Every structure is written in structure tokens, then in C-alpha cells.
Amino acid sequence: MEGIFKEKSDCLPNGNALANDEVKSPFLIGVAGGTASGKSTVCKKIMEQLGQAEMDHTQRQVVSISQDSFYRELTPAEKLKAQKGKFNFDHPDAFNEELMYETLQAILNGKKAELPSYDYRTNSLDFDNVLVIYPADVVLFEGILVFYFPKIRDLFHMKLFVDTDSDTRLARRVPRDINERGRDLDAVLTQYMTFVKPAFEEFCSPTKKFADVIIPRGADNTVAIDLIVHHIGEILAATNIAQHNNTVRTAAASMKRDH
Ligand SMILES: Nc1ncnc2c1ncn2[C@@H]1O[C@H](COP(=O)(O)OP(=O)(O)O)[C@@H](O)[C@H]1O
Ligand SMILES: O=c1ccn([C@@H]2O[C@H](COP(=O)(O)O)[C@@H](O)[C@H]2O)c(=O)[nH]1
């Protein structure tokens, strides 16, 4: 997975072109929670309420990325295990921690990043479907273990934990994995009891204590989402004012120089 980062944001295609060496360092929000707790749905709602969802992705001020893009590539033997539902995708070792850290660092340094999507049917990264992350003002990073790795946890400016009861999560995971991830009922339940539930208790649930905001009931919690959206809106407004002031300063300096 070489070449994930592109050069500095001078290649930014939207109107927010950066002046000279100015770096667009985003506000990074981590969104953790158990499987099927509603992490992606919460991120989607936040994007929608900020008017970002319908925007072309090159123009967005808020972008959402998933920890699934950082599953490490499996050896042939591990692939065989995964196909039989016998590989533990809920253990921290299933992720490429170093790449995740470097990528988030690069994004924080205003670089464009290209992330593969994840194909749950083949248990592998899909480099034909790449999500290009342009420098943004707010970046949401969601996944089951985004608060597990201390080095990564320390990068977040704000940490949210989506706290949905485990029966509800299982009831959502079963139809989702069958309909969207190509699994059968038996495999979903066996994987859940063998790996997903024990790993949630050992690795994911203990990270709730690191959260700044816990969102009970996930996307149903409209009050919590409204408060978070309001906070992000204030960050974006402050960024826009700072960018405007910077543009005015640069224009004034260049007029003075030309004079
Ligand atoms: N509040 C909700 N009410 C009903 N279904 C939901 C709700 N939130 C999520 N879902 C459904 O549950 C499944 C998992 O949600 P998702 O947001 O993908 O969870 P996660 O990203 O935590 O795995 C999806 O099929 C989604 O449509
Ligand atoms: O190949 C794979 C990779 C991951 N999983 C399961 O996915 C969830 C994490 O995704 P959520 O959207 O947060 O549910 C994790 O619990 C893994 O068990 C998989 O089944 N196969």
C-alpha cells in the first residue's frame, strides 16, 4: 500500500486553494463503537445536517473515512480461515496500525490521501474503488477500534462513542451481513459468538472511557447529533473567517508589493 499520500494540498481542486505554504490542518473527530452500533449512520447524519452529503466530494469541508480501509492484507492461509468465518477481524492485530497512523498524520498535515474501500465479500481491500480524501476542515474517522491504539487516539481533537445496546447491534448485524456482506446465518452467529462479542468486551468497550461524548442509542439520538453538528458548524465558521482574513491579508500584501 505504497503511495497512499499525494503531495501537499496545492492540488486541492475546490475553491479553497491554499496560499503558498499554508497547510490545511483539519479538526479530526474519532467515532468509535461496537459493530452495527450506528457509527456510519451517525457520520452520515452529521454530514447531511451540515449540508455536505449532497456536495461533490472534492468540495466538501467535512469528510468521513472508515477504519475498514486499514484492515491489513491477509496471507493465503488467513484468507482461507476468513472464508470459513475463522479469522478474527475484531482483534487489533487485524489492522495495519502504522499505516493508519501515517495516513492520519498526513491528513492532519494537509495532504491528499487515497484510501481503498473494503470488500467484505472477499475479505480484502479493493484498490479499484479508491476514496480520494482532499484536505478538509473536519475529518470523521469511524471504526470499532479507533480509540484502541494510544498513538492514534492522541491524534483526535474530539472523540465520540456510539453506545448502542448489544442485542440491538446483533439484531442489526445479522440481516446486514446476510444481505450486504454475503454471509449465511450460521456463519454470522458463529463469528459473532467466537470473535465479535469477546473482542468487543476486551478491546472496544473499554475504549468508551476515552470518549468526550457518548451517544446512547446512536443515530436515534437526535439531540446528541444536533449538539455535535452545532459544535462542528462553529468550527467550520471559525475556519471560514480565518481563511477569509488570510485571503484579505495576502491580497493586501500583494497590492502593497505591486504599488
Ligand atoms: N437508528 C437506527 N435505526 C434502525 N436501523 C439502524 C439505525 N442505525 C443504524 N441502523 C442500521 O444498522 C446497520 C448498521 O448500521 P451502521 O451505521 O452501518 O453501523 P456501524 O457503522 O456501527 O457498523 C445498518 O444496516 C443500518 O442501516
Ligand atoms: O472481512 C471482514 C472484515 C470485517 N468484518 C467485521 O466487520 C465489523 C466492523 O465493521 P462495522 O461496520 O463496524 O460492523 C467487525 O466486527 C468485523 O467482525 C467481517 O465480518 N469481515
Q: Find the ligand nearest to 41 CA.
A: 1
* Over residues 85-94, mean pLDDT: 96
Residue among 87, 144, 186, 200 whose CB has most ligand 2 atoms within 8 A, to mutate? 144
pLDDT for the residue 258: 77
> How far, rounded to the nearest angstrom, does the alpha carbon of residue 259 sit from its chain's CA centroid?
47
Quick check: 226 pLDDT over 70? yes
CATH code of the domain covering residue 196: 3.40.50.300
CA 44 – ligand 1 centroid, Å: 11
Nearest CA to ligand 2 atom 14: 35
Tell me whether residue 78 is in a domain. yes
Burial class (CB in 10 A: 0-12, 13-18, 19+), 104: buried
**pLDDT mean over 16-28:** 66
Would the CB of 66 count as within 6 Å of ligand 1? no
| Residue ranges of E strands in 43-157 | 62-66, 111-119, 124-133, 138-142
Task: Identify any residues that bridge with 253 across adjacent strands, giving them in sequence order.
Answer: none
pLDDT band at residue 21 using 50, 70 and 90 as cut-offs? low
For the chain, the domain total comes to 1
Q: Is residue 113 very low, low, confident or very high in pLDDT (cuts 50, 70, 90)?
A: very high
H helix or E strand, kind and range, residue 98: helix 97-108
Q: What is the C-alpha to C-alpha distance for residues 210 and 251, in angstroms, rounded to an integer? A: 43
Kindly state whether residue 145 falls inside one of the protein's structural domains.
yes
Quick one: pLDDT at residue 22?
63
d(CA 64, CA 85): 28
pLDDT at residue 73 tops 60: yes
Say how many C-beta atoms besides its own lie within 10 A of residue 133's C-beta. Answer: 25
Cα(177) to centroid(ligand 2), Å: 9
Asked if pLDDT for residue 20 goes beyond 60, the answer is no
Cell 498513538 appears where? 151
Return the pLDDT at 79.
Answer: 94
The whole-chain average pLDDT of the chain stands at: 89
Question: What percentage of the chain's residues is helix, strand, coil (to nearest 5)?
Answer: 50, 20, 30
Ligand 2 proximity of 144 Cβ (cutoff 6 Å): yes
**Residue among 57, 151, 142, 150 nearest 102 (CA):** 151
Helix (H) or strand (E) holding 160: strand 158-163
**Residue 250 is assigned to a structural domain of this protein:** no
Question: 26 in a domain, yes or no?
Answer: yes
- Pocket lining: 218 vs ligand 1, CB cutoff 6 Å: yes
The identity of residue 34, as a single letter, is G
Nearest ligand (C-alpha, residue 90): 2
Is residue 249 domain-resident?
no
Q: Is residue 36 in contact with ligand 2, taking CB distance under 6 Å?
A: yes
Q: Say how many Å lie between the CA of residue 70 and the centre of ligand 2.
A: 12
Query: Helices 39-49 and 222-258: crossing angle, nearest 10°?
Result: 50
ipTM of the complex: 0.99
**pLDDT, tens digit, 9 for 90 and up, residues 35-67:** 999 999 999 999 999 887 778 877 788 999 999
CA neighbor of 4 nearest in space, from 116, 124, 142:
116
> Is residue 146 in some structural domain?
yes
Number of alpha carbons in the 13 Å side-chain half-sphere of residue 83: 6
Ligand 1, atom 16, lies closest to the CA of: 38
Q: Nearest C-alpha to atom 15 of ligand 2 is from which residue?
A: 90
In a domain, 77, yes or no: yes
203: domain range? 5-243
The three-class DSSP label of residue 33 is strand
Residue 52 · residue 73 · CB < 8 Å: no
Ligand 1, closest atom to CA 33? 22
pLDDT per position as a tens digit, 130-177: 999 999 999 999 999 999 999 999 999 999 999 999 999 999 999 999
Q: Which one, of 120, 124, 31, 122, lies nearest residue 71 by Cα?
A: 124
CB 22 within 8 A of CB 152: no
Q: Is residue 257 part of a domain?
A: no
Q: Whose CA is nearest to atom 11 of ligand 1?
A: 172
Q: Please report, rounded to a whole number, the percentage of residues in the chain having pLDDT higher than 90.
A: 73
Pocket lining: 143 vs ligand 1, CB cutoff 6 Å: no
